[in-house]
Structure formats: C-alpha cells, structure tokens
Amino acid sequence: MSLQINDLTLAVDGVTHLDGISANFERGKLTTVIGRTLAGKTTLMRAITGLQHLDRGALQLDTQNFSALPAWRRDIAMVYQQFINYPHLNVFENVAFPLRRKKLDEAVIERRVRGVLDKVGLKGFEARRPSQLSGGQQQRVALARSLAREAGILLLDEPLVNLDYKLREQMRSEFRSLLAEQTQTIVIYNTTEPVEAMLLGDTVVVMHEGRILQVGTPAEVFDRPASMQVASVVNDPPMNFIQGHKGESTLELAGGVCLSLPWHLRGLTIGEYWFGVRANELRVGQTSVTGQVTFSEVSGSETFLYVDSPLGPLTLQVQGVHIHALASNLEIGIPAERLFAFESAAQRRLVAAPATGAQL
C-alpha cells in the first residue's frame, strides 16, 4: 500500500516549481526528500496536502483517488520548520488540540496524549507552556501533536533546521526511533542535509529545481549517484569535480596531472570525462598536485580547506584541527581508486563508480 504521485507539474509566473515528477511513497517506510533550497520539496508537500493547485498530475492513495479529496478530508499530519505551538495552551492541551477537534472520547485523548509525550521524552512536562520549553522540547511538542493524530500520512518539512548543531544530532536519532514505529503510516521527511537524509531514510528521493533526479536506498544514492548533480546534492561538502582524459593506461587530469588508471575505470571508452572525488578522500601531504590555501575553517573535530590548484578549486575535509596559513602551499594526493567518472555530455551521468564501503 502506498501514495503514488504521477506527473505533478506546477509553474508560477514562468518559474517551474514541480516538473512532471512521479514517485511512490510506501506505508511503513520513512522516505527522505533531499534537495537544496528551492528544489521543490515544500511545494511537493503542499501538493500532497491539497493546499497547492497543480497545473497537471494526480495522486493516488492505495486504490483511492487522492487528488479528488479536498484538503480538509485528507488524513495528513504535518510538522513544519518553525515551532508551531499554541502559546496559551500547556503541553498536554497542545498535543490534545486536534483530537478534541475530532471530538474523540476523553479516555482516548488521555491515552494517546500521555503515550506520545512519553515517547518523545516529555513525560512530566504536561503542565508547562511552550515559552517554558527549550527549542528542542518545543519541536517535540509539535511532533507529538502530529503523532497523536495517528494520521495515515505524516509530513515533516525540515523539522530540525532551526535547532543548533548538537541538538540536531540528538533529535535525528530520536526521530529515527520514533518514526520507525509508524508501521501503518506514510512518512515523508524533507531535508537539505545529506547526513540527515542518509541516516533517517529507508528510501531517498533527490530533488533539484522541481525535478526528481534519483530514487533509491541511502547506499544506492550515496555509492552510485546517477549524475554529477546528484553527487553534488548528496555530499557535504559537495563532491569535487575535475575534467580529464581517460587513456589506455593513465588518467590525464586538468593541469597536466597524470595518474595510473585504476581497475574500476579500465572499461571506459578512451575519451573525455568529468571525475569526482569526495572532500574527505583527498589526501593532505601526498603529492599528486600542489595547491594554494585560500580559506581554512575548523568545525568541531574537522578542518575544511579550500584550495586553488591546477585541477581547479578543491575542497578538503580533514579529521582533526589543522592550521594552514592563507596562500600557503599544500600538497594534495588524488586517490585514483576513489574517483567517480561522469560522462562529459550535457546530462553528465555516472558511468563508473569506485568500490563501495566509503564512510558517510
């Protein structure tokens, strides 16, 4: 059983928001939709809720024509980016609000509300107002209200984006365990964060400029991105791309850099390609190419280095804290065995990928 969307299309003032997208969202599985800002993720959710008029397309829920239902009749709960709670109601009443509107029995309301508050870690907070809660606790209230509805479809539109980094990490693991229990619910989770998409999703949908570029398991999307655009979206920092020529036994990269041909690229036709390598797989201190540091950023236990090189601009992600002066030279090793190859044609589709097993 599933929610099927077929050929959803929407343009406003000549700007395409959804471009003929089709997908299948299965009941009991968590689908993450990843894309940059303006990829069309929120518009897709609004189309599912019935709040967005479409130029073309249809939705079907199991055997039901979902498109024909007005928004108020669609069994949908939604959690937004902002903490949408009622400031004049305490936590219990915030969660109970949609249940009271349905005029459910008071015993049912009591059981559901206390049950979900226990699940989201807010047992004992029932009498507090939202203003007395932290940001993470307020988002838990919004999630609890959606879970208490026991709706057939649960939509989460970047629910952690406004939380600080540490709290976001904590909430990711909590969301995964909570949402795994929704075995009879279709759960769709929007995010711009690659790590979030991979860790939470049973299925990952990659969107860009109103189009779906790839659908697959986290491993499929990460290990075999369908195109350069997908590889850029699902990697943070974005994957480095280098133009080059595949010869009989060597790779000749931009700037005159020559590498031995790795086994996974030997089947490619001789010719021009784009080669991709992740920021965390470039090797500092090894000599494939010498670059010049243009910016250095320490983030927690990692250092990000931005380098101008004969290959073009490169981004490196290095474990630990490393201090590099601006304009200093940096020796960089290019691991040929970790290169992705994409066609040089307009679509720039993946044509070869390294062995799997890289860390997210």
Mean pLDDT (the chain, rounded)? 93
Separation of alpha carbons 360 and 348, rounded Å: 23
Q: What is the average pLDDT across 219-238? A: 96
Residue 198 lies in a domain: yes
* Final residue belonging to a domain, choices 205, 233, 261: 233
Tell me the pLDDT tens digit for each residue of 170-207.
778 877 888 887 788 999 999 999 999 999 999 999 99
What distances in angstroms separate CA 300 from CA 35, 167, 322, one per listed residue? Answer: 25, 14, 11
Tell me the pLDDT tens digit for each residue of 242-281.
999 999 999 999 989 999 999 999 999 999 999 999 999 9
The CATH number given to whatever domain includes residue 46 is 3.40.50.300
Residue 148 lies in a domain: yes
Structural domain count of the chain = 2
According to the model, what pLDDT value does residue 358 have? 44
Residue 213 lies in a domain: yes
Are residues 331 and 311 part of one domain?
yes
According to the model, what pLDDT value does residue 357 have? 56
Are residues 261 and 223 part of one domain?
no
**Which of 28-37, 46-55, 158-167, 218-227 has the least mean pLDDT?**
158-167
Domain range holding 156?
Answer: 2-233
Separation of alpha carbons 235 and 249, rounded Å: 29
Q: What is the average pLDDT across 119-140? A: 91
Are residues 247 and 220 part of one domain?
no
Contact in structure between 215 and 234 (CB atoms under 8 Å): no
Are residues 326 and 180 part of one domain?
no
According to the model, what pLDDT value does residue 49 have? 96
Contact in structure between 332 and 290 (CB atoms under 8 Å): yes
Separation of alpha carbons 135 and 44, rounded Å: 26
pLDDT at 59 over 60: yes
Residue 360 lies in a domain: no
Predicted TM-score of the model (pTM) = 0.92
* Final residue belonging to a domain, choices 233, 262, 287: 233
Separation of alpha carbons 102 and 320, rounded Å: 54
Contact in structure between 231 and 276 (CB atoms under 8 Å): yes
Contact in structure between 42 and 35 (CB atoms under 8 Å): no
Band of residue 360 on the pLDDT scale cut at 50, 70, 90 = very low
